[in-house]
Amino acid sequence: MWLLLACTSGKDSGGGETGAPDATRDLGDAFAADTLEGYVTYLASEELAGREAGSEGDLLGVAYIEAAFDAAGFEPLDGGWEQPFVDSAGTDSINVLGVRWGASDEIVIVGAHHDHLGVRGGEIFPGANDDASGVAVLLGLAEAFGSGATPDRTLVLAAWGSEEVEIDGSRAYTEDPPADLPLADTVHYVNLDMLGTYDAYEVIYALDAVRGTVAHRVVGAAADESPLYVDLAEYGELSDSVNFCEAGVPEVFFYTEDPACYHSPCDTADRLDYDDLSAVGELVGHVVDRFTDGALDLATQRAAGCPVAR
């Protein structure tokens, strides 16, 4: 994560408003704790050396994500898995995009960033929580949604590059989306950043899913089925969700606080809370299931733009 500012406006333990359709997709073992731990362990390994944008380690992470998307049944666009761009530091970087085509033109995007800080002062910043944990849940979503019934809405899984460089990857996407994925047809965005430390305060934030948003209803309904405490009353600033909101796309940003090892060499795979990360994955899976269900009206809020002030 590049930066977070949380503005407290009270707690909400879930439930929320009514009206969200029931989740129906069987998530299977896509979010098993040991599976997620395996993803994080590789992405935060010494071999990938902190995945600094454009580095050899970052490219190894990109290849790993592409292979996982492919194995799960997601498809690349005609130009391949990669959307290349040059970030604001002048580095060649990559967004990885996998698609499960739906029955309608409407699109839901779920994103997590694959880059981190690399090596600084001779020390590796592994980026296990930030954001190998989010990528791990993204790969779980690929497994859960890559086969079975065709979703009503097209589902795009995006692993963003250069988030740590001014949230550039998602900005490159929103400013120049692929021709087959028009931003005008994108009805909701879900952001996954730093999901592996639920145990720090025993809360997961669904940032920007405040009252009056479709996300509040959808996440609230999913929270009722989850063992986790879900806070639906906070606003988030400056992860990839911001670029979508500024482009008029409604969004929700899942996040757990990491008071000990944020942007630190101690952000290692062995310290994450994988049992709760598994529950986070299932929560996100049920939310994505609801968002891709055509029975839910997302077009009305999309037409009105992102309801969160920026």
Confidence of residue 22 (pLDDT cuts 50, 70, 90): low
Position 266 scores a pLDDT of 98
Confidence of residue 18 (pLDDT cuts 50, 70, 90): very low
Contact between residue 1 and residue 131 where contact means Cβ atoms under 8 Å apart: yes
DSSP conformation class of 255: E
Listed residue (218, 187, 217, 167) closest to 4, CA to CA: 167
Q: Above 70 in pLDDT, residue 155?
A: yes
Position 16 scores a pLDDT of 40
Listed residue (257, 247, 205, 213) closest to 229, CA to CA: 205
Position 67 scores a pLDDT of 98
Tell me the mean pLDDT in the region 277-305.
97
- Rounded distance, CA 254 to CA 243, Å? 15
* Helix ranges restricted to H, 73-150: 133-145
What would the pLDDT profile of 242-266 be if each residue is shown by its tens digit?
999 999 999 999 999 999 999 999 9
- pTM attached to this predicted model: 0.94
Residue whose tokens read 């498809």: 75
Q: Above 60 in pLDDT, residue 283?
A: yes
Q: What share of the chain is helix, strand, coil (3-state, %, to 5)?
A: 35, 20, 45
Listed residue (183, 184, 138) closest to 158, CA to CA: 138
Contact between residue 162 and residue 111 where contact means Cβ atoms under 8 Å apart: no
Q: What is the DSSP track for 150-165?
A: PPSSEEEEEEES-TTT
- Rounded distance, CA 64 to CA 49, Å? 15
Tell me the mean pLDDT in the region 47-51.
98
Q: Above 50 in pLDDT, residue 3?
A: no
Q: Above 70 in pLDDT, residue 88?
A: yes
Instruction: Look over the chain and give the mean of its residue pLDDT values, rounded to a whole number.
Output: 93
Contact between residue 187 and residue 296 where contact means Cβ atoms under 8 Å apart: no
- Rounded distance, CA 67 to CA 231, Å? 34
Cα atoms in the Cβ-side hemisphere of radius 13 Å centred on 5 = 5
Confidence of residue 4 (pLDDT cuts 50, 70, 90): very low
Tell me the mean pLDDT in the region 60-77.
98
Contact between residue 217 and residue 19 where contact means Cβ atoms under 8 Å apart: yes
Listed residue (230, 215, 93, 62) closest to 163, CA to CA: 93
The edge-to-edge listing of strands for the beta sheet with 186-192 is: 82-86, 92-100, 154-160, 107-113, 186-192, 251-255, 204-207, 230-231
Position 28 scores a pLDDT of 86
What would the pLDDT profile of 157-191 be if each residue is shown by its tens digit?
999 999 999 999 999 999 999 999 999 999 999 99
Cite the beta strand spans of 11-168 per DSSP E.
82-86, 92-100, 107-113, 118-120, 123-125, 154-160
What would the pLDDT profile of 106-148 be if each residue is shown by its tens digit?
999 999 999 999 999 999 999 999 999 999 999 999 999 999 9
